[in-house]
Amino acid sequence: MWYAVRGQDLSRIGHYIVTANYFWLGITMVLSVLGYFSRAYRWQMQLTASRHKVPYWNVYHAMMVGYLANIVLPRMGEVIRCSVLRRTSGVPVEVSLGTVITERVIDVLVLLLLLGSVMLLEFNKFWAFLQSLFADKYDSLAANRTTLLALAGIAVLLLVVFGYLLFRNLEKLRQYTLFTKVVGFVKGLLAGVFSVRKLENKGLFLLHTAFTWLVYYLMDYLTFRCFPETYGLDAKAGLAVLTFGAFGMAAPVQGGIGVFHVMVQSTLLVYGISKEAGIAYALVVHGAQTILVVFMGGISFIASAIKSGKMAKSLASVPAVSLP
């Protein structure tokens, strides 16, 4: 986070934050709540398609606990929400994790579509920006091209050898319980991944996907209205901030902290917004969402803990059946 604000006038950043019009931010937070509800319903559709009928609120609470965990443990929220769902609803972790993988793949495809749209609509502005952003990295990769190719070749060779040994010793491996468990886990994972093909209403699934991303877009675009410096930015600027900000949120750091701010600030620089105003905007957007996730995720954590305890008690109260 320090990297995002170093060398800047902190008093100006503070002034922008204090004098912002938070009416628009309030609207974005209401939209965010609706977006979380929609995303949870979409996940419930995937779970139903994988033959696991789970109550909506169990799905929602597990998802929000996962988002809360991402603030502390980078990218671990996906695993944690699947673990919570297993405790509250009995869904195998491998199945729910498979649905989450599919969800992430769909989000990546949407993000690539958005990136293509931004480059198409704002090519002149962002081509130079992307060149400057990746220039140093490209030079570094070019200098180590031989090493990278050698490492890639070794990786492919090891993969081929591993596959050959696995195939040759398949019958022996089946005798081991651990191998059987791994195979079962992978099968469950694939069942979750491909559950999207068995959706009862694919149109509704796509509608919820579109609505979720529309909410993300409106969150960024409406927050422009909070600051005089960004008030006049158009819809295309909102699309650009959404796209590059999403790449920042995807970084393997706690809640995208720091990376998101730098990406948004750099994007706004392309539109003539000062570094201080850009970082203030990023702090407000990210801060509001973090507060919302902590609040909603905290409630969901308590609700899931209560539900998990009740489920454990109900299972313990089931009388054991003695076999003759």
CA distance 248 to 261: 8
Q: Is the pLDDT of residue 42 over 80?
A: yes
* Residue 246: count of CB within 10 angstroms of its CB: 21
Q: Is the pLDDT of residue 289 over 80?
A: yes
CA distance 274 to 283: 14
Q: What is the pLDDT of residue 34?
A: 96
pLDDT category at 162 given cuts 50, 70, 90 is confident
pLDDT: is 24 or 254 the higher one? Answer: 24
Most confident of 95-104, 156-165, 253-262: 95-104
How far out from the chain centre does Cα 175 lie? 39
Q: What is the pLDDT of residue 3?
A: 56
CA distance 4 to 13: 12
Of 115, 118, 124, the closest CA to residue 234 belongs to 118
**Which amino acid makes up residue 205?**
F
Q: What is the pLDDT of residue 141?
A: 53
| pLDDT (mean) for 125-135 | 65
Residue pair 286/260 in contact (Cβ under 8 Å)? The answer is yes
pLDDT category at 136 given cuts 50, 70, 90 is low
Residue found under tokens 């930015």: 233
Count the helices and strands in the chain (H runs, E runs): 14, 0
